[in-house]
Structure 1
Amino acid sequence: MIEIKKLAKRFAVDNPKKLSEQERRDPRLKGRFFHSVQDVSFSCDNGQVLGLLGPNGAGKTTTLRILSTALKADSGSIFIDGEDVLQNPIVARKKIGFLSGTTGLYGRLSGRENIAYFGQLHGMSKSQIEQRIDELADLLDMHSFLDRRSETFSSGMKQKTAIARAVMHKPALVILDEPTTGLDIMATQTVLEFIQRLKADGTPVIFSTHHLDEVSELCDRVTVINQGTSCFDGSLDEFKQLSDGNLHHSFMQALAQGESYVASV
């Protein structure tokens, strides 16, 4: 289980005069600091999939990067199976599989070599690495390109390889930042089926997306972030009840509620 409470993160603005007009109007800009994440809270139990929604610039990626320990929070708490992520980031990393918005593969290495390298970083033996790569290649339909240099890969091949690398060590929590962006229909379906498999195995999954059909297909819970604040956190059914059952309408309603809350504070 993962539990996040009152997460906050701000960034220093070196030269406010260089900000765009839209950035200057953002209420999160306070003096020489931009408060990307102000107050984000949500939880996800084992075997659940949580969809993280929000407009561009809402703070979703910053939140996920904090969860992955790539960024350090200014305040708040994160616990994974009772482990304090903020106090023990090195230990916590062993529990987390993180796919960022960019695949970051080593182009001169094959897909197999990219994945195996991360297995070595996690202390896996050669036999464990070989067995796990074969398992993931079956699940993600990777055998046809696994031994090619990754610099020759299509977007879908790169994404599948990056996902396999992220879950190589069988993490206790999987975090995916827009995992289907730029993928064709077949590659997207493979990724969605893999998330379903993680769910069936009892692994909690948190993924950000702009595709509400993916939320409908996969998610048990939904969290909506707007202007760095979680303005909705609940079950998929509760999210649907914000409107007439249309997820687009529910999303817009959650944003409206969040903006009313921010204006009243």
Structure 2
Amino acid sequence: MQTPGSPAVRVRGLRKRYGNSRAGFKDAVAGLDLDVARGEIVAVLGPNGAGKTTTVEILEGFRDRDDGEVVVLGEDPRQAGRAWRARIGVVMQESGDMSELTVAEKVRSTAAYYPDARDPAEVIAAVGLTEKARSRMRGLSGGQQRRLDVALGIVGRPELLFLDEPTTGFDPQARRSFWDLVTGLRSDGTTILLTTHYLDEAAQLADRVIVVRDGEVVAEGPPDTLGGPGARTPVVAWDDGGVRRTEQTDRPTAVVARLIAAAGPDGEVPGLSVSRPTLEDVYLSLIGEASTNDDGKEAA
């Protein structure tokens, strides 16, 4: 049983290997540690193949682990029963459900499995599918199917909600509406573990961001402090005889003044810009990829 004040999710030394003795083994998850406090929204970021989905599937109880300690809502997912499963909500990356049921029928039938389900009509409205309530699932667009997936994940009023790339296929307006929905769920006390490729989504929703690379956590913290204090130090960039120069500094005004003074009588510095690294810049540096600008050139 979960003790008061204990985290919703606690993971220590999690490992999952794939392969065999003949072809060799590969660690999809290599000693990962993770904590998620109750009522917190945590976004897990990482490139494809980093181990995000494998980790989440282990936490959901859909995949077994090779080693490590995993406690979710006070129980080990591989031993937890039906009562535990009723306390979690899952929105998988792909559902593949092309049922003949209508949207309303599917949400109502799913709600019947839970002891304290939300009102199906309210859930359908919350994900923006009221006009499609009588439509059959097989006729929904990709974005509409994704909204239905979210509805099915939250109708049981979960204590802990797993969202795996939840806004794939959403248009910008639908994504904003979904963000409002998630914020409301958090206000109601729902703990949320989110995986996403959208950096703006993580910045908007997450209390804390965890970056995973090669099956390990390489950084974690609030979105605006990820990577440590030096990661957001301003960058001054300019063109020097056809070469792009950059200087990262806590005193950008002084650098700009020096460049202007050295520029000659007109004081013009070609290509001058001052910017602060974004969450995307920090993330790409942590996973070992370079950010590029619109010209395809490496950015500062």
TM-score bracket for this pair, using the shorter chain length:
0.7 to 0.9
Of 157-166 and 240-249, the range deviating more from structure 2: 240-249
Give the counterpart letter for 2:33 in structure 1: S
Counterpart in the other structure of 1:79: 71
**CA-to-partner distance for each residue in 1:210-243, whole Å, 9 max, x for gaps?**
1111111111011111111111233334315361
Of 220-229 and 245-254, the range deviating more from structure 2: 245-254
Q: Secondary structure of the equivalent of 1:51? A: strand
Q: Secondary structure of the equivalent of 2:119? A: helix
Counterpart in the other structure of 1:6: 13
Counterpart in the other structure of 1:21: none
Distance 2:28 2:160 in 1: 24
Report the CA distance shift for 1:52/1:89 in structure 2 as closer, same or farther (over 3 A): farther
What aligned pairs does 1:39-188 form with structure 2 within 5 A after superposition?
39-88=31-80, 90-122=82-114, 124=115, 132-188=119-175
**CA-to-partner distance for each residue in 1:8-64, whole Å, 9 max, x for gaps?**
111235984xxxxxxxxxxxxxx2x22211122222222221111001111111111
Of 224-233 and 75-84, the range deviating more from structure 2: 75-84
What aligned pairs does 1:23-34 form with structure 2 within 5 A after superposition?
31=24, 33-34=25-26
**CA-to-partner distance for each residue in 1:96-148, whole Å, 9 max, x for gaps?**
111111123242111122222222333x4xxx76x621121222121100111
Counterpart in the other structure of 1:251: 283
- TM-score, normalised with respect to structure 1: 0.81
Q: How many residues align?
A: 236
Distance 2:204 2:90 in 1: 21
Counterpart in the other structure of 1:236: 223
Q: Secondary structure of the equivalent of 1:243? A: helix
Distance 1:89 1:227 in 2: 31
Report the CA distance shift for 1:154/1:231 in structure 2 as closer, same or farther (over 3 A): same
Cα shift at 1:83 = 2.6
Q: Secondary structure of the equivalent of 2:105? A: helix
5+ residue gaps, structure 2, are 1-7, 233-276, 289-300
Q: Report % sequence identity.
A: 28
Give the counterpart letter for 1:57 in structure 2: G
Counterpart in the other structure of 1:23: none
Cα shift at 1:81 = 3.3
Give the counterpart letter for 1:52 in structure 2: V
| CA RMSD of superposed structures (Å) | 2.1
Of 247-256 and 207-216, the range deviating more from structure 2: 247-256
Give the counterpart letter for 1:208 in structure 2: T
Counterpart in the other structure of 2:185: 198
Give the counterpart letter for 2:172 in structure 1: I
- Larger Rg: 1 or 2? 2
Cα shift at 1:89 = 5.1
Greater per-residue helix proportion: 1
Give the counterpart letter for 1:198 in structure 2: L
Report the CA distance shift for 1:162/1:57 in structure 2 as closer, same or farther (over 3 A): same
- TM-score, normalised with respect to structure 2: 0.72
Give the counterpart letter for 2:65 in structure 1: A
Report the CA distance shift for 1:153/1:251 in structure 2 as closer, same or farther (over 3 A): same
Distance 1:15 1:222 in 2: 38
Instruction: Tell me: higher relative CO, structure 1 or 2? Use CA pairs within 8 A at least 6 residues apart.
Output: 1
Cα shift at 1:7 = 1.4
